[in-house]
Structure 1
Amino acid sequence: MSDKPFAAEAAQFGQAMNSINYSQVVEAAVRDYKRDVMDKQPQAGGKTMHQVVAMDDLMEDEELQKLHEDRIARLKAEREKRNQQAQKGHGTYGEISEGDFLEIVTQTDFVVVHFFHREFERCKIMDKHLQPLAHKYFNTRFIKVSAPDSPFFTVKLNIQMLPCIVGFSKGVAVGRITGFEGMGGRDDFPTSVLEDHLLVMGVITLPERNREDEDRTDGPGKNVRKSSHFSKTASDEDSDFE
């Protein structure tokens, strides 16, 4: 008799045993998983307590509704404030007359004023840096004033060298940048250098998304002077203003 029928039966038997072993392994894994889940469930009176949360019920929660209403009210207030600021010129950088200077400075929380001369090349360079900062720091008003056309405030603020940037906080001059002092003595300084100076003055504040990154650094503008008195430097000779 041939051995082939027995070989076929042996193969079938082996397959059956493999299936049984696989099933037992799966069942054991299921039991282990179920036991692990049951162990993590809180027990009360010997019975497993299952916490079921219905999202519809959460939407009717008074505390959640109050949080939602507060957020909506805050967003509306911020939008209204931004609209009012936009009407006053926030987000833009432009020239104003001497007659508008006092009103803007005294009625705006933070103002950056650039006293300039139309023929001074460095004043034009400063304009290029102030323009993007005006868009970035919407809560601060950025303006420029022609020094020759504003003799009263030029004298009162002791503007003797241009370009000159004066920072105001609630109507009080809190600092200034004269010429390119603190800019590395170069005409191609990055905008971030001027930005750091204004941050140290306190006339601009970092947007919310940047504050965490700023906390991980040594802080901006460590070499910026807060004093409103600056000495004349050789690099500013071409910008002397009398």
Structure 2
Amino acid sequence: MSNPFEGMGDDEKEYQKVVSDNVNKRMEGAMNDLKKKYSEGRGGDDMGDDGPTGDAYQKHQQMQKKRADAARAQKNASKKAEAEMIKAQRENMQQNDQDESSDDEYDDLLEELDADPEMEALRAKRISHMRQKQIDRAENLAKGHGSYRIITQDEFLNEVTTSKWVALHFFHKEFERCKIMHHHLELIAPIHIECKFINIDAEKCPFFVSKLQVRTLPTLVIFRDGVAVDRLTGFQEMAVDPSEPDKWHTSKLQAWIASTGAITFAMPTEEIRKEMEKMGITPRGTIWSTKHANADDEDED
């Protein structure tokens, strides 16, 4: 480094040295004062409200932290929802032996004639339809479809309003006919994923019993987009033989629910029944019959 005093006379060198020492002492003093102020939390006095210790700066830092925490929480929630959707899709693929949207069907579609543009368009439409059905099925499973579950009064609104179609059974634990309804709905729920099947103890939900004017048990209420659109009170015309009102096939209940639009189901025609009999195919395990069931169990609240 070159000498800053090179070329100067002795008097001039002495003068410049005194000035330089004075400046250095002032700078050192100013730095020490600034460090002391920050150590005492008074840095904002000189730096203003936007300084590192000012109120505006601190509020800004807090707001940035809140935004970062909120973004992180949203990201975690999205990852969790995506994980649940993937899990539901995997379970769907494992259990979906009867679903139309199997991998074999995709393979069959891909083997169709692809030279005809109309066939290509039709194939693309069918594939899109089946993929949408898979998505809908996975979403429904994530919402609790596919099983027959009991809910509480606090869960009522969330369960009824989060699915397009819901079948809700109001029951009493001591009524035999409510047990019969349970039996049939437990068989239907895993088959018809398009509708949510749930039940609630009428004694433990007085508000909704009153709101929906439930007077007879069992009562099955069908909701569409959270609005009650139809109901089945007791067994009405379920039984084929009036002398045995509690003995009827599950398909009778399926047909009634299908009539509301909640599920897709068609009763076999007589011709199909006969063909099934020739092939040795008969209904199994879907009829509840008990000597203890009687009309007294269909009581008023």
TM superposition shift of 1:180: 2.2
After superposition, the Cα gap between the structure-2 partners of 1:75 and 1:193, relative to the gap in structure 1 and judged at 3 Å, is: closer
Q: Are positions 1:95 and 2:150 aligned together?
A: yes
**Structure whose alpha-carbon radius of gyration is higher:** 2
Task: Find the residue that maps to 1:204 and give its secondary structure.
Answer: coil
Preserved contact between residue 180 and residue 236 of structure 1 (Cα < 8 Å): no
TM superposition shift of 1:195: 1.9
Q: Match for residue 9 of structure 1?
A: none
1:202 to 261, 280, 283: 261
The number of equivalent residue pairs is 165
TM (norm. structure 2) is 0.48
1:193 to 252, 255, 274: 252
Query: Deviation string for 1:24-50 (max 9, x for gaps)?
Result: xxxxxxxxxxxxxxxxxxxxxxxxxxx
TM superposition shift of 1:192: 1.9
Query: Deviation string for 1:79-125 (max 9, x for gaps)?
Result: 12111111111111111111221122223221111001111111111
The one-letter code sitting in structure 2 at the alignment partner of 1:237 is D
Task: Find the residue that maps to 1:74 and give its secondary structure.
Answer: helix
TM superposition shift of 1:77: 2.2
Q: Equivalences for 1:42-61 in 2 at 5 Å?
A: 59=114
The one-letter code sitting in structure 2 at the alignment partner of 1:109 is K
CA distance in 2, matches of 1:60, 1:239: 63
Q: Equivalences for 1:123-202 in 2 at 5 Å?
A: 123-184=178-239, 185=242, 186-202=245-261
Query: Deviation string for 1:123-147 (max 9, x for gaps)?
Result: 1111111111112221111111111
The one-letter code sitting in structure 1 at the alignment partner of 2:255 is D
CA distance in 2, matches of 1:59, 1:124: 54
Q: CA RMSD in A?
A: 2.8
Query: Deviation string for 1:41-81 (max 9, x for gaps)?
Result: xxxxxxxxxxxxxxxxx656666555444443333222121
Identity in percent: 39
CA distance in 1, matches of 2:119, 2:253: 44
CA distance in 2, matches of 1:236, 1:201: 26
95-104 or 71-80: which moved more?
A: 71-80
CA distance in 1, matches of 2:187, 2:114: 43
Query: Deviation string for 1:169-216 (max 9, x for gaps)?
Result: 22222221222222235112111222222222332222xxx59x66x9
